[in-house]
């Protein structure tokens, strides 16, 4: 037994020696330097446990920002559960991974981590499958932005009823927004809304009874998928019966509409798409594979529902804390579209183009996404021995070696909260910063929807919907007040970042 252990240790030592020699030679070849190393305890278990603790406490995103500010480095190296990881908020490194060196980095274990819910959708696959999925979806997000605005108003009226029921008392706007966006997303995707905001709970038309826990199933699965992502290559260990049952419920929902679309005669399908946009019906013209259709629509449903709800919730959180910004924004909206309060509301004038002309509204949304990006962090895995342009040496200006299979974590929220880019007021909510000359040069320093070939296809969809909702709230209500004392807010990470527990505000006519 002793000889077997000794032999194993000898082989391990030889492997590490050869690997270190290879790394040394590669560093010489690429003229690389080492990144700053953060002491993270024995084999990085301390880092992993702190990550879980911060997740539970709602301080994960805040700690990401603080860690970079503490070490005063834009790129550094850590070890987590025994494996080396590079962590960066450097725009040049992020640009390299997502764009200029796109083929050098892949999405790692994401396929296995997210496959139970999303299958082979646009977020889980790479290579030719990803290109094919993107090619099918891209036309749908350049064609229907205007009609998307027009179909939002009925859901706004449902949202308003719930707000009015609170009679000027504090309520959780985030919970309502999550229901609102699943209603609008299902309407856009399947042609029928979940109607989760309907007071009578009648739910879906067409034979599928809406389950009151449907959006909760989405939330639970989203949180669970987050922990599968944290587990990295050990994601398969994160599993339970509730996770599987929630996924079955979600799949059943999507399968009903896929089956319905596939059974429609071609002439009826064509007539339906002329009357009202339906993404599923458009995709049926491209493929009749039911699993492909389910995977594609669920990928969009998950992203469209969660990112938009989070964006609007954080925006209202900030507006409720900044009455001067609320007043300035409301003045712009009233001048453009009138107000429900004064009886001169011009809802018909709200279009994709007219919303884009509301410059202060756009600045408010940009500033919200800067402080609270929906995807605060992400990662890439090197598909070959390669480099990052910066991060090596004391001055961080030398290239940095990334070995095949190594993971690079990149933090959009830490980059957005970098004093070297956004000044000493980087923690403040200041929409006016988007009218300065500096804003013209931020480029890859502002990345709320990722970048490069995998840039979010639905970003205009989310921005248009968020703009419409915020504009309508400005038209419907004259006052907004916050009942959340903590700043910055505690956050909760699913696949998207939300305000933890609730976002209590008051809206008054």
Annotated binding site: 456
Cα–Cα distance for residue pair 127/107, rounded to 1 Å: 10
β-pairing, 407-411 vs 377-382, is: antiparallel
Q: Are 459 and 447 spatial neighbours (Cβ–Cβ below 8 Å)?
A: no
Compute the distance between CA of residue 413 and CA of residue 429 in angstroms, rounded to an integer. 14
Q: Which candidate, 132, 196, 482, 206, places its Cα nearest to that of 321? A: 482
Annotated binding site for heme: 456
Q: What angle do CA 376, 382, 383 make, to 5 degrees?
A: 135
Let me know how long the chain is: 509
Q: Is the peptide bond before 488 cis (omega within 30 degrees of 0)?
A: yes
DSSP 37: E
Closest by CA to 86, choosing from 162, 34, 50, 147, is 34
Sheet of strand 36-37: strand arrangement = 36-37, 75-80, 83-88, 407-411, 377-382, 105-106
> Does residue 344 sit in helix, strand or coil?
coil
Which residue stretches of 322-452 are H helix?
323-337, 352-356, 359-371, 412-416, 419-422
Q: How far apart are CA 491 and CA 503, in angstroms?
A: 11
Write out the H or E segment, with its range, that includes residue 112: helix 110-118
User: Measuring CA to CA, how many Å separate 296 from each of 160, 346, 417, 466?
Assistant: 31, 36, 33, 23
Dig out the tokens for 2 from the structure. Answer: 């002793």
């Amino acid at each position: 037994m002793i000889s077997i252990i000794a032999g194993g240790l000898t082989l391990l030592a030889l492997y590490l020696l050869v690997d270190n020699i290879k790394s040394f030679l590669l560093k010489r070849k690429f003229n690389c330097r080492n990144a700053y190393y953060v002491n993270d305890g024995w084999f990085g278990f301390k880092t992993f446990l702190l990550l879980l603790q911060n997740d539970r406490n709602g301080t994960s995103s805040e700690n990401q920002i603080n860690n970079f500010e503490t070490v005063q480095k834009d790129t550094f190296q850590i070890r987590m559960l025994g494996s080396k990881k590079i962590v960066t908020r450097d725009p040049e490194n992020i640009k390299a991974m997502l764009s200029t060196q796109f083929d050098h980095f892949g999405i790692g274990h994401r396929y296995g981590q997210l496959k139970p819910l999303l299958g082979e959708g646009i977020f889980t696959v790479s290579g030719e499958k990803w290109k094919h999925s993107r090619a099918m979806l891209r036309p749908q997000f350049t064609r229907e932005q205007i009609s998307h605005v027009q179909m939002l108003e009925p859901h706004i009226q449902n949202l308003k009823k719930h707000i009015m029921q609170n009679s000027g008392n504090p309520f959780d706007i985030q919970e309502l927004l999550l229901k609102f966006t699943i209603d609008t997303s299902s309407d856009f995707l399947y042609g029928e809304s979940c109607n989760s905001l309907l007071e009578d709970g009648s739910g879906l038309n067409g034979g599928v009874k809406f389950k009151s826990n449907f959006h909760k199933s989405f939330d639970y699965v989203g949180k669970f998928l987050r922990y599968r992502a944290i587990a990295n290559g050990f994601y398969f260990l994160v599993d339970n019966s509730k996770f599987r049952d929630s996924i079955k419920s979600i799949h059943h929902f999507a399968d009903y509409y896929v089956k319905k679309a596939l059974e429609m005669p071609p002439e009826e399908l064509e007539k339906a798409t002329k009357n009202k946009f339906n993404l599923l019906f458009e995709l049926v013209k491209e493929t009749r594979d039911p699993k492909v259709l389910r995977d594609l629509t669920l990928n969009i449903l998950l992203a469209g529902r969660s990112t938009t709800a989070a964006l609007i919730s954080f925006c209202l959180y900030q507006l409720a804390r900044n009455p001067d910004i609320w007043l300035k924004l409301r003045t712009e909206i009233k001048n453009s579209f009138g107000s429900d309060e004064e009886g001169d509301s011009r809802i018909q004038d709200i279009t994709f183009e007219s919303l884009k002309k509301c410059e202060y509204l756009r600045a408010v949304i940009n500033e919200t996404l800067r402080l609270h990006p929906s995807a605060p962090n992400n990662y890439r895995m090197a598909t070959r021995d390669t480099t990052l342009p910066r991060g090596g040496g004391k001055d961080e200006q030398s290239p940095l070696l990334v070995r095949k299979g190594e993971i690079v974590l990149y933090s959009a929220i830490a980059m957005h909260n970098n004093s070297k880019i956004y000044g000493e007021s980087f923690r403040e909510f200041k929409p006016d910063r988007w009218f300065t000359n500096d804003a013209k040069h931020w480029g890859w320093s502002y990345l709320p929807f990722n970048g490069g070939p995998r840039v979010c296809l639905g970003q205009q969809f989310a921005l248009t919907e968020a703009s419409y909702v915020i504009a309508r709230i400005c038209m419907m209500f004259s006052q907004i007040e916050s009942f959340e004392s903590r700043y910055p807010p505690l956050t909760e990470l699913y696949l998207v970042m939300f305000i933890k527990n609730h976002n209590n505000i008051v809206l008054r006519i």
